[in-house]
Structure 1
Amino acid sequence: MTTQDEAPPKVRRALVLSLLNTVLGKFGGFFVSLLLARLLAPEDFGVFAVALVALQAVLSLNELGVSLAIVRWQGDPRTIAPTVTTISTVSSALLYAGCWFGAPAFAEAMGSPEAVGVLRLLCVSVLIDGVTATAVQLVNRAFRQGAQLAADLLNLVVTCGLTVTLALDGAGAWSLAWGQLAGNALSALMLLKLVDYWPRPGFDRRQARELLAFGLPLAAASFVVFAMLNVDYVVIGRLLDVTALGFYVVAFNLSSWPVNTFSVVMRRVSLAAFARVQDEVATRGEALTRLAVLLAVPTLPVCAALGVLALPAVTTLYGAKWATAAAVVQFLAILGVVRVFAELCYDFLVALGKSRVCLWLQVGWFLALAVALPVGALVDGIAGVAAMHALVAALVILPAFAWMVRRTGVSLRALGVALWRPVVGVVAMVVVMFGVRFVTEPSALQLFLGIGLGLLAYVPFVWRLRHVLRELR
């Protein structure tokens, strides 16, 4: 049995392995996406995006949220494991049946009838997710992140290797679907082997009622988050075309880099950090301020560089054929900043027991996008969609989160004072990068010269903040 003295090192080790998993996965996936962008056409990414939207929608509802009960169950979680396995497996089978029969209508509605086969193939991952849901949560409960890291690395290697091989062979969007499905399947088998848990169905009616009461609200909240994050794909697929969607997907992936690195890593610790000081108004405000500063230092310059140097960034990384995506990146860079800080505020509010407030903020975000994005698409295509995304985020969502944080007793003035160095520094960096843009043509030289000189202007402003990192450690 693990003692209290043994638990902290175990948790720290799990956190380190989890962070390593995130970094390797994000950077590995990013570099492979650069290679695929040079092998595939924009319409291939568009077709795959249609299938991916369907998969993410189903995964947000898959296993009805019951598997998370494994983590919080008082007592031996294996007593409820058979019931959890049965619910997750049956629900995933029913959802996949819906995917199979609904694929033609969904693909037609998204303006990409050719995506039907890719959608049906990719969504087989729903079945894999349902069968392995119990084992995954047993890993999380036991802090066995080493097993998860091994499985995810296998997933990355198989997915990337097969996708690139098939893309070189001219398989188009099918290469993306086959690669992801093969990676998911083999990594699932490895995880089951490593944790020595093979799915064993069973059913207890009393447990099922309790599990569904716990899981269904979580599944509903997960679906709201999915809708908020994918409404732009749906609008573009419906109102524009699959090629436009392909350009937008590449632009969104590039602009999400700060979220997928800085924010993901920070969220491994932010919720726990806020929870420890949730009853101390002054201390929790100080914790939020310090983590906000720590996030701002790397996030602001990266997003600024993506926004100001969007064209040379896109053409240097992905190739000249993707230049159309640059107009999208410059607006989505603003969205990236807002998403990073909105997620930090979200964790802060959840730690204080404001989960219902967070849900309503997400619902409001989705409704605002549902109104604004079609207008943007009709006015200026994918650039208009991105501009509306940035407008809603900066003028509606960020102020809304800031207002709710202020209502918890946190001083926004103190937060603003703490952030002045990275904010003023990034303004200086933007001025320098615009100067480089003015005297050079869009190219790799402009990109590296702009970033290099911009950082020389930025670093002096934030150099004195290095003590924040030491204090947080």
Structure 2
Amino acid sequence: MSQAQNLAQRATRGVVYTMGGLWGRALLQTISTVVLARLLTPADFGLIAMVGAVMGVAELVRDFGMTGAIIQAQNLSDQVWKSLLWLSAGIGAVLGVIIALCAPLISLLYNEPRLAGVTILMAPGVFLSSLVMPLQAKATKELRFGMLATLDISTMAVGVVAGIVTALAGWGFWALVAMAGAQFFLRLIALWAIVRPKWGPPKIVREAWSLLGTGGSIFGAELLGYAEKNLDNVIIGAQLGPAALGQYSRAYALFLLPLQQMNGPLGRVALPVLSTLRAEPDRYRRYIRTAALAIGYLTLPTYAVAAGVAGPLVLLLLGPNWSTAATLFALLCIAGFGQAIGRLRTWVYISLGHSHRQFVYDLFARPLVIAGYFFGIWWGGLEGLVITYGTLTLLLLVPGFAWAIKGTFVRGSDIAAPLVRPAIMALIAFGASYGMSHLLVPTLAIFDILIGAGFALLFIAPLFLIPGYRADLRALWSFVERLRGSKRGARGRAARRRMSRPRPRRRVLRRMPRGGRPSTASASPPATSSTSRTPSPSATRPAAASRSRPRSSPRRSPKPRPTNPSSAKRKATSTASSADAAPPR
């Protein structure tokens, strides 16, 4: 099998493994959301979201772009790897101490005294995360997606159980802290046992500093991106309080579910694969087109239907106390279109080694979105902030992609063309689901969701009579076929390896005749007659016949019986004649 075919098969399997892991996490996260939203109040979620906005900044500083740098690196020697381990651990320890010392300031920022204790307790999580990050990045670089998917599900399951049990025990918002802490500890222990890092002496080699320079550009872009995505929590918490922030945070968490479970697996696999293919422009462009097609059909119609049935969906998942979150969730789905497509831009930047260019663009785009937060909350409160955010996300797609592909072999049609038909399908799906869920008399929430989604499916099904949609369907089906072929090929290769293993040679035990040398005529013991129990020439077998006998445990020689002298003489004569008559080997 060629290297290209092997890479394609590993990438195909990686997408499915990662999608399975993230979909399992989505199911567990949905269960935790449904249960905890009925056990806790919106203010409890808002308190943790306030601390989470600050902790996220510390996480980005701790990472410093090293995750992307490790994945992007073509060659990662043992010395560089050990240096990055020490760098990550040192940065995490320092940041953990700084966060703990800043706990009173965070409490003062939000005018919430309870935040000081929460911040101090969550500060060690930054150090634990600094130990987890390089191990997970190396596993991703080695395309160990099956292991990572299993780890995602198991850690999430333990965290959900811990959160629900502590919430039932009456811990309040501390149940959310327990859920996050349990996931961190289990993930660290599992990755440490699987990757088995070798630290070595605390020495930083020169190559690690150059790799850290590449990570610095990635860090700058990620820091601006994080400020764009989380400064809204700070503004809402400071202006409107924890209850309003709790409504917004749960709506935003539901909004992120499709994005994480669909774009997440593709991104985890696409980034290392595209980094490998950047020396082959044609294959790189084909992979980008396939990724854009998959993102379009998986994400855009999903957000459209979710926006159409947002009211009954939030009522089913969160309960009757979250009506504000339903409106916010429907408006956030507009931004979901832009975020799903914009993921491709990040892959192009990092895989082509243009992280500096990404940082330059983010210096322009991210502050514009942040300014939109202040304008939106001044203009229309929570709803105004969400509308402004979604509008800017869509408008910035065109200049963002134009800057990303400038001077490269990637063309705008490689990204725009595969997204046209999924966008049309999304508009039709939204109109059908929204119309039916609002025209009919409200019943049970689950029935309203099924009716809206069913009519959306009914209206978009005729689109596949159009040749272009059928071609897209064939392209997606060929992706599934490649996966099935790779699985059959893997099973066939394993079977051929088992068949090609040399079988161990069976050890043949020879019987020592009494009164003479061991017989070399046959590997099996000579047969004895029924009267004298001595070998006869006619009973001697060739060696091949002996080897063809079925395997069995060697039989012990019968115990010699006392005989009279005449019988012993006859035995010796018969043994000598048998040895003379045996053909040489």
CA contact (8 A) 1:425 1:459 kept: no
**Structure 2 vs 1, CA of residues 193 and 417 (structure 1 numbering), >3 Å: closer, same or farther?**
closer
Matched residue type, 2:117: G
For residue 453 of structure 1, what is the aligned residue in structure 2?
455
Higher CA-based Rg: 2
For residue 514 of structure 2, what is the aligned residue in structure 1?
none
Matches within 5 A, 1:27-66: 27-66=27-66
Q: Report the Cα offset of residue 26 of structure 1.
A: 2.9
For residue 302 of structure 2, what is the aligned residue in structure 1?
302
Unaligned runs of 5+ in 1: none
Does 35-44 or 214-223 show the bigger shift?
A: 214-223
CA contact (8 A) 2:132 2:187 kept: no
Matches within 5 A, 1:153-232: 153-197=153-197, 202-204=202-204, 206=206, 209-210=209-210, 212-232=212-232
For residue 128 of structure 2, what is the aligned residue in structure 1?
128
- Give the structure with the larger helix fraction: 1
Matched residue type, 2:442: E
**Structure 2 vs 1, CA of residues 361 and 26 (structure 1 numbering), >3 Å: closer, same or farther?**
farther
Q: Report the Cα offset of residue 217 of structure 1.
A: 3.1
**Structure 2 vs 1, CA of residues 386 and 72 (structure 1 numbering), >3 Å: closer, same or farther?**
closer
Q: Report the Cα offset of residue 415 of structure 1.
A: 6.2
For residue 440 of structure 1, what is the aligned residue in structure 2?
441
Matched residue type, 1:183: Q
- Separation in structure 2 between the aligned mates of residue 291 and residue 64 of structure 1, nearest angstrom: 27
- What is the Cα-based RMSD across aligned positions, in Å? 3.2
CA contact (8 A) 1:258 1:340 kept: no
> Which secondary structure state, in structure 1, belongs to the residue aligned with residue 154 of structure 2?
helix
Q: 2:356 matched to 1:374?
A: no
Q: 2:469 matched to 1:469?
A: no
Matches within 5 A, 1:285-434: 287-395=287-395, 397-404=396-403, 407=406, 418-434=418-434
CA offset digits 1:36-58 (Å, max 9, x no partner): 11211100110111121122111
Matched residue type, 2:400: F
Q: Report the Cα offset of residue 269 of structure 1.
A: 4.0
**Structure 2 vs 1, CA of residues 398 and 141 (structure 1 numbering), >3 Å: closer, same or farther?**
closer
Q: Report the Cα offset of residue 281 of structure 1.
A: 7.2
**Structure 2 vs 1, CA of residues 246 and 199 (structure 1 numbering), >3 Å: closer, same or farther?**
farther
**Structure 2 vs 1, CA of residues 222 and 447 (structure 1 numbering), >3 Å: closer, same or farther?**
same
Does 102-111 or 406-415 show the bigger shift?
A: 406-415
Q: Report the Cα offset of residue 224 of structure 1.
A: 2.1
Task: Name the TM-score, length of structure 2 as normaliser.
Answer: 0.72
- Separation in structure 2 between the aligned mates of residue 132 and residue 64 of structure 1, nearest angstrom: 14
Matched residue type, 1:220: G
Does 436-445 or 91-100 show the bigger shift?
A: 436-445
Matched residue type, 1:460: P
Matched residue type, 2:462: P
Q: Report the Cα offset of residue 5 of structure 1.
A: 9.2
Percent identity of equivalent pairs: 23
CA offset digits 1:354-382 (Å, max 9, x no partner): 43332233333321122111122123222
CA offset digits 1:269-290 (Å, max 9, x no partner): 4445655775787876665444
CA offset digits 1:314-355 (Å, max 9, x no partner): 112211101111121121101011100011233234444443
> Which secondary structure state, in structure 1, belongs to the residue aligned with residue 361 of structure 2?
helix
- Separation in structure 2 between the aligned mates of residue 360 and residue 82 of structure 1, nearest angstrom: 31
Matches within 5 A, 1:252-267: 252-267=252-267
Q: Report the Cα offset of residue 422 of structure 1.
A: 3.0
Matches within 5 A, 1:245-256: 245-256=245-256
Matched residue type, 1:312: P
- Separation in structure 2 between the aligned mates of residue 134 and residue 118 of structure 1, nearest angstrom: 26
Q: Report the Cα offset of residue 432 of structure 1.
A: 2.3
- Separation in structure 2 between the aligned mates of residue 351 and residue 63 of structure 1, nearest angstrom: 18
**Structure 2 vs 1, CA of residues 11 and 298 (structure 1 numbering), >3 Å: closer, same or farther?**
closer
**Structure 2 vs 1, CA of residues 76 and 207 (structure 1 numbering), >3 Å: closer, same or farther?**
closer
For residue 113 of structure 1, what is the aligned residue in structure 2?
113
Q: 2:85 matched to 1:78?
A: no
- Separation in structure 2 between the aligned mates of residue 66 and residue 459 of structure 1, nearest angstrom: 45
- Separation in structure 1 between the aligned mates of residue 340 and residue 136 of structure 2, nearest angstrom: 27
Matched residue type, 2:397: L
**Structure 2 vs 1, CA of residues 287 and 299 (structure 1 numbering), >3 Å: closer, same or farther?**
same
**Structure 2 vs 1, CA of residues 410 and 443 (structure 1 numbering), >3 Å: closer, same or farther?**
farther
- Separation in structure 2 between the aligned mates of residue 391 and residue 109 of structure 1, nearest angstrom: 29
- Separation in structure 2 between the aligned mates of residue 149 and residue 270 of structure 1, nearest angstrom: 16
Q: Report the Cα offset of residue 230 of structure 1.
A: 0.9
**Structure 2 vs 1, CA of residues 119 and 343 (structure 1 numbering), >3 Å: closer, same or farther?**
same
- Separation in structure 1 between the aligned mates of residue 420 and residue 247 of structure 2, nearest angstrom: 35
Q: Report the Cα offset of residue 204 of structure 1.
A: 4.0
Q: Report the Cα offset of residue 216 of structure 1.
A: 3.2
**Structure 2 vs 1, CA of residues 459 and 197 (structure 1 numbering), >3 Å: closer, same or farther?**
same
For residue 485 of structure 2, what is the aligned residue in structure 1?
none
**Structure 2 vs 1, CA of residues 203 and 41 (structure 1 numbering), >3 Å: closer, same or farther?**
same
Unaligned runs of 5+ in 2: 483-585
Q: Report the Cα offset of residue 235 of structure 1.
A: 1.6
Does 381-390 or 81-90 show the bigger shift?
A: 81-90
Task: Name the TM-score, length of structure 1 as normaliser.
Answer: 0.88
How many residue pairs match? The answer is 471
> Which secondary structure state, in structure 2, belongs to the residue aligned with residue 441 of structure 1?
coil
> Which secondary structure state, in structure 2, belongs to the residue aligned with residue 321 of structure 1?
coil
**Structure 2 vs 1, CA of residues 7 and 323 (structure 1 numbering), >3 Å: closer, same or farther?**
same
CA contact (8 A) 1:374 1:385 kept: yes
